[in-house]
Amino acid sequence: MELNLSATELYQLSCESSEIKCEFCDTFQCESWETLPSSFVLSEYPVVGNCRFEGSSDIWEEYHPDKTTMWSNHAPIALRYYPYNRSDVVQCSHCKRVYLRYTEFGGYYVDQRIRLVNPSLIVLEEDASS
C-alpha cells in the first residue's frame, strides 16, 4: 500500500525532522537533485509515500517561476510538476529527514536521483491554482 501525499502532507512530514546529527544523512548532500550517492544506505530510508497522482506520468513540465533550474538548491518543490510528480518519498529512520527519489530514464542510462525536502520550498498553493 503506497500512500499518495499531498503538498500539505509532505510539508508536515518534512517538518518532523530533527536537526540532530545523523550518521547516515550527514554523509551526503542533496539540497538539489543529485545522483543517488553510493554512501546512501537504502535500508535506512523506508518509502513512506509517493507524489504521484492520476495522469502525473504524462506531465514533463517543470516549475521555475523565479528562473531557477532543476538543479538549483532553491528550486521549488512543486508536486504537480516534473520530476516531483513521479517521486517516491523516503524518510531517514534515524533523524526523520525526508527525501524525494525518482528514476531518470535517459537514452542510454538510468539515473536514480534524490533531493532533500526543505519544507520552505514546497509549493502549497498548487492545488488551488492548477
- Site for Zn ion, rule CB under 5 A: 22, 24-25, 92, 94-95, 97
R_g of the chain, CA atoms, integer Å: 14
Pick the closer one to Zn ion by CB: 64 or 94.
94
CA dist list (Å): 83 to 35, 79, 91 = 14, 8, 18
Pick the closer one to Zn ion by CB: 22 or 36.
22
Q: Closest approach of Cβ 37 to Zn ion, in Å?
A: 13
- Three-state DSSP state, 113: strand
81 close to 110: Cβ distance less than 8 angstroms: no
Tracing cell 517521486 back to the chain, one arrives at 87
Q: Closest approach of Cβ 130 to Zn ion, in Å?
A: 32
Pick the closer one to Zn ion by CB: 27 or 120.
27
* Bridge partners, residue 122, by sequence: 77
Q: How many C-beta atoms surround the C-beta of residue 51 within 10 A?
A: 24
Q: Closest approach of Cβ 17 to Zn ion, in Å?
A: 8
* Bridge partners, residue 104, by sequence: 111
Q: Closest approach of Cβ 72 to Zn ion, in Å?
A: 23
Pick the closer one to Zn ion by CB: 52 or 97.
97
